[in-house]
A and B are shown apart, each in its own frame.
Chain A
Amino acid sequence: MKAFEYVRAEDAAQAPGLLAEGGKYLAGGTNLLDLMKLQIEAPAQLVDLNRSGLAEITETEEGGLKIGALVRNTDLAAHPRVRQEYAVLSRAILAGASGQIRNRATTGGNLLQRTRCPYFYDTNLPCNKREPGTGCGALAGFSRPLAVIGTSEHCIANYPGDMAVALRVLDATIQTLKADGSRREIPIGDFHRLPGDTPHIDTVLESGELITSVTLPPPLGGQHIYLKARDRQSYAFALVSVAAVVTDSGARVAFGGVAPKPWRVESAEARWNEGAQAVTDAAFKDARPTAQNAFKLDLAQRLVQAVMNETQSAGTPEGGAA
C-alpha cells in the first residue's frame, strides 16, 4: 500500500472540493482497501466519506425510496420498506459477502466494486483492466468464473456484485455530484461500461464525481426473487445469479456474474411466457463464452426455470435430471 494523504469529509457537498489529483473517495473500504494492499489501487489521497452524512433512506415524492450513498448494505437490506416492497434488493444484498462486510459496505461503494478476475488481482500478471496494454491473461487462461457476454477481446472480467443486479431490475437511478458542483442522474443500466478497448474504465463516472444517492422508483409489486448459484453455499461470488420481479403484467429479469455489468435485456423479458429457454436465448444471444465458462449459459437458463417454478404452482418442466 502506497502512502496517501488522509482527509475526512464532514459534509458530502464539500467532498469533491477536497479531492486532490490522484485521490479517491473512501466509503466502507471493503473493496478499496483490499485492492490498495495489493497495490492494484494506489491513490495519492483518500477522502473519507464515512462522516459525511448520506446515510439516510428517505421516501421520494413519487412513492419510491432515495438511498443515501453511505447507507450500509445491512441497513439497506433490513429497511422495512425495502424488505416489503423491494424484496429482490434485500435478497440480493443478503446473498452477497458476509455479515461483517455488509455492516461496512455501502450502497455507493458496492456499485463501484471491481472485478474478482484473478489476473486483475495479481500485479505480476497481464491484465488490461488493471494495466492497459498488458493483455488479458484470462482469455487463454483461467476463465471459469468470468463473463460470457458483453466482453471484448481485451477483457472478459465480470462485475461480481449482487446488489446492482437487483437495482437493475428495479430501474434504479444513481445521483451524483460532480467536481464542478453540478449534479446528474444516471440510470443504473447506463452506469457500468462494457470493456471495449478501454477495460480499465468500469463506469461512466467522471474524475471526482461522487455518488450521493440511489433512487428506487415506486414499488412494482409482484414476486421478488433472487437466486444465486455459487461454488459454496455462502460467502462466495456468483457463478450466475438472477434477479427477477414477476408481476401479473410481466417479468423483469437481470443476471449477475455473467457480464461486465448487471445483465438485463428488456426484449428477452417479453418472452417470459415462452419459457426459460426463450428468455435466456434472447438475453444471451450474442454470448461469447470460453470453453471453461460456457456452462453459465445453461446455468442461467436453469436459474430462470427455477424462478418460473417458484412463481408458478404448476407445469414445472424437469431440469434434465429425470
Chain B
Amino acid sequence: MTHTTSHGSTDLQLPRSVRVELTVNGQPKQLELDPRVSLLDALREHLHLTGTKKGCDHGQCGACTVLVGGKRLNSCLSLAVMHDGDEVTTIESLGTPDDLHPMQAAFVECDGFQCGYCTPGQIMSALGTLDELERGIPSHVTADLNTVEYSDDEVRERMSGNICRCAAYPNIVRAVRSVHEGGQE
C-alpha cells in the first residue's frame, strides 16, 4: 500500500514583502516583512524582542499575549501586516530587573511562575484583565452581566487563556489581586 503525503502545489515566486510600521513600546519601527510573518515572529525574530513567547503558535496557550491598542491578543494569531500603524506593548516595556513594574514585582513576590516561559504572557494578560474589569467587560462567571466586579473567580476565568503547565495558578491569582488592591489604595 502506498501512501503519499503532499501538501499540494506551491508557488515559486518570492512573496512580496510589505512595509509595516508599528509603534512598539512607544518606539516607531519600520519593517519590510513577508506578509506571512505573524506579529509574534515580527517581535521575536525581526525586532529581537524575545520576551514575548511562542508556546503553541495556534492561539491555544496564551504565551504570546501582547497588548495592541491597549487590548490583549494572541500575537501568534495575527499577521504583523494586519497591525500596520498600531501600537504594540510587550513585556519589555514594563520594567527592568532592577526596576520592576508592579505586576512584575508581584509575580516575583508571589512566585507566580516557575519555568518562566508563560510568564510574560501571563503578565500582559493580567494587565489586560484588570483593564477589562475596570472597563466593565463581563465574563463567563459574571453573575449579573450588568455588574462587573473584581473577584478571584473573575481573574481565574479571564486568565484561562494563559496556560501555565508549572501551574503557578494560585500564586498568579494572588499576584493579580495584590496589584488590584495596590491600585485601589
B59 to A34, Cβ gap below 8 A? yes
Hey, which chain B residues are within 8 Å of A94, CB to CB?
138-140, 142
Instruction: Specify the main secondary structure of chain B where it touches its partner.
Output: loop
Distance from A226 Cβ to chain B, minimum over Cβ atoms (Å)? 9
6 A-B residue pairings within 8 Å (CB atoms): A28-B77, A98-B59, A98-B62, A98-B74, A100-B128, A100-B161
B73 to A78, Cβ gap below 8 A? no
B137 to A74, Cβ gap below 8 A? yes
Tell which of B13, B16, B57, B161 touches A235, judged by Cβ atoms closer than 8 Å: B161
Interface segment, one of A62-70, A83-91, A257-265 = A83-91
Tell which of B36, B74, B137, B140 touches A95, judged by Cβ atoms closer than 8 Å: B140
By a beta-carbon cutoff of 8 Å, the part of chain A in contact with chain B is: 1-6, 8, 26, 28-30, 33-34, 37, 39, 42, 46, 48, 50, 74, 77-78, 80, 83-84, 87, 90-91, 94-95, 97-101, 103-104, 123-124, 233-235
B27 lies within 8 A of chain A by Cβ: no
Tell which of B14, B72, B77 touches A29, judged by Cβ atoms closer than 8 Å: B77
Tell which of B13, B18, B62 touches A100, judged by Cβ atoms closer than 8 Å: B62
Complex interface bits, B132-150 against A, C-beta within 8 A gives 1, otherwise 0: 1000111110100110000
Interface segment, one of B3-11, B45-53, B100-108 = B3-11
Distance from B31 Cβ to chain A, minimum over Cβ atoms (Å)? 14
Hey, which chain A residues are within 8 Å of B132, CB to CB?
74, 99
Hey, which chain A residues are within 8 Å of B157, CB to CB?
234
CA of A90 to CA of B159, assembled, Å: 18
Distance from B6 Cβ to chain A, minimum over Cβ atoms (Å)? 9
Hey, which chain A residues are within 8 Å of B65, CB to CB?
100
Distance from A217 Cβ to chain B, minimum over Cβ atoms (Å)? 20
Hey, which chain A residues are within 8 Å of B71, CB to CB?
74, 103
> B160: nearest residue on chain A (CB-CB)?
A234
B89 lies within 8 A of chain A by Cβ: no
B82 lies within 8 A of chain A by Cβ: yes
Distance from A52 Cβ to chain B, minimum over Cβ atoms (Å)? 12
Distance from B10 Cβ to chain A, minimum over Cβ atoms (Å)? 7
Distance from A166 Cβ to chain B, minimum over Cβ atoms (Å)? 13
A103 to B72, Cβ gap below 8 A? yes
By a beta-carbon cutoff of 8 Å, the part of chain B in contact with chain A is: 5, 7-8, 10-11, 13-16, 18, 34-36, 38, 57-59, 62, 65, 71-74, 77-79, 81-82, 84, 125, 128-129, 132, 136-140, 142, 145-146, 156-163
Distance from B20 Cβ to chain A, minimum over Cβ atoms (Å)? 10
Knowing that A34-B58, A90-B145 touch, tell me 14 more A-B residue pairs with CB under 8 angstroms: A2-B10, A3-B11, A4-B15, A5-B16, A34-B59, A39-B8, A48-B82, A94-B142, A98-B62, A100-B73, A101-B59, A101-B74, A123-B5, A234-B161
Hey, which chain A residues are within 8 Å of B5, CB to CB?
123-124
A6 to B18, Cβ gap below 8 A? yes
Hey, which chain A residues are within 8 Å of B36, CB to CB?
1, 3-4
B158 to A30, Cβ gap below 8 A? no
Closest 3 pairs (CB-CB, A-B): A98-B161, A234-B160, A3-B15
Tell which of B10, B78, B161 touches A99, judged by Cβ atoms closer than 8 Å: B161
Hey, which chain A residues are within 8 Å of B142, CB to CB?
94
CA of A95 to CA of B140, assembled, Å: 5
Hey, which chain A residues are within 8 Å of B59, CB to CB?
30, 34, 98, 100-101
Beyond A100-B74, A104-B73, is A33–B38 a contact (Cβ under 8 Å)?
yes
B128 to A84, Cβ gap below 8 A? no
Distance from A264 Cβ to chain B, minimum over Cβ atoms (Å)? 22
CA of A288 to CA of B57, assembled, Å: 35
Distance from B130 Cβ to chain A, minimum over Cβ atoms (Å)? 11
Distance from B53 Cβ to chain A, minimum over Cβ atoms (Å)? 14
Hey, which chain A residues are within 8 Å of B34, CB to CB?
3
B145 to A99, Cβ gap below 8 A? no
B57 to A100, Cβ gap below 8 A? no
> B65: nearest residue on chain A (CB-CB)?
A100
Hey, which chain B residues are within 8 Å of A1, CB to CB?
36
CA of A8 to CA of B84, assembled, Å: 11
Hey, which chain B residues are within 8 Å of A6, CB to CB?
16, 18, 35, 79, 81
Distance from B38 Cβ to chain A, minimum over Cβ atoms (Å)? 7
A30 to B77, Cβ gap below 8 A? yes
Distance from A21 Cβ to chain B, minimum over Cβ atoms (Å)? 14
CA of A28 to CA of B82, assembled, Å: 9
